[in-house]
Amino acid sequence: MDYIKIRFGNDSDSLASRLERSIEEIFRPRPVSPMFTSSEGSWLPSMDMVETLEEIIIRAEMAGVEKDNVEVEINSRAVKISGSRRELPCQENSTYRLAEIQYGRFERILYLPSPIDPEVVSSNFTDGFLQLRLAKKRTNEAFSVPITQG
């Protein structure tokens, strides 16, 4: 089966950014038969990152994850989103015929395209989607520097 890769934006993405995405895709877990999975597996939620002139918006799809099981860490160049999704109980006397939903711990580190101000962040968790709004640092501001004698 051939896969079609859809890219949004222009072709001027930096080589480092493309390399990060390629490495992440290599290690991204794939659905496997439940008989080969451990009870503490790992998975990666799908995410979108949108950049405007003033901010960076990150949306993470986390159906079935409770808000209290999500942690977000931010610095000026990266965002780490981690947490866990508990497995739903299987009915007694039943057999899986298809098992694609992944459970367990997850962790994603997203490298930001522009420096952000970690002090100006808002978050919202609604209908299985986490949304982060990160204000970009103003890099065009001029600061006066006092000159001392000697």
Residue 97 lies in a domain: no
Check residue 88 and give its pLDDT.
Answer: 85
Other beta carbons within 10 angstroms of residue 83's beta carbon come to 20
Residue 108 pLDDT level (bands cut at 50, 70, 90): very high
Q: How many domains does the chain have?
A: 1
Do residues 84 and 76 touch, judged by C-beta distance below 8 A?
A: no
Residue 41 lies in a domain: no
Do residues 85 and 64 touch, judged by C-beta distance below 8 A?
A: yes
Residue 36 lies in a domain: no
Residue 38 pLDDT level (bands cut at 50, 70, 90): very low
**Domain with 72 in it:** 48-86+102-138
Residue 131 lies in a domain: yes
134 token code pair = 């990160």
Average pLDDT over residues 95-117: 92
Check residue 144 and give its pLDDT.
Answer: 82
Pick from 15-19, 59-63, 110-114, 116-120: least confident: 15-19
Question: What CATH number is given to the structural domain containing 58?
Answer: 2.60.40.790
Q: What is the DSSP letter of 95?
A: -
Do residues 83 and 69 touch, judged by C-beta distance below 8 A?
A: yes
Query: How confident is the prediction for the chain on average, in pLDDT?
Result: 81
Residue 58 lies in a domain: yes
Residue 110 lies in a domain: yes
Average pLDDT over residues 69-92: 92
The Cα 95–Cα 98 span in angstroms is 9
Q: Residue with structure tokens 């057999």? A: 95
Residue 42 lies in a domain: no
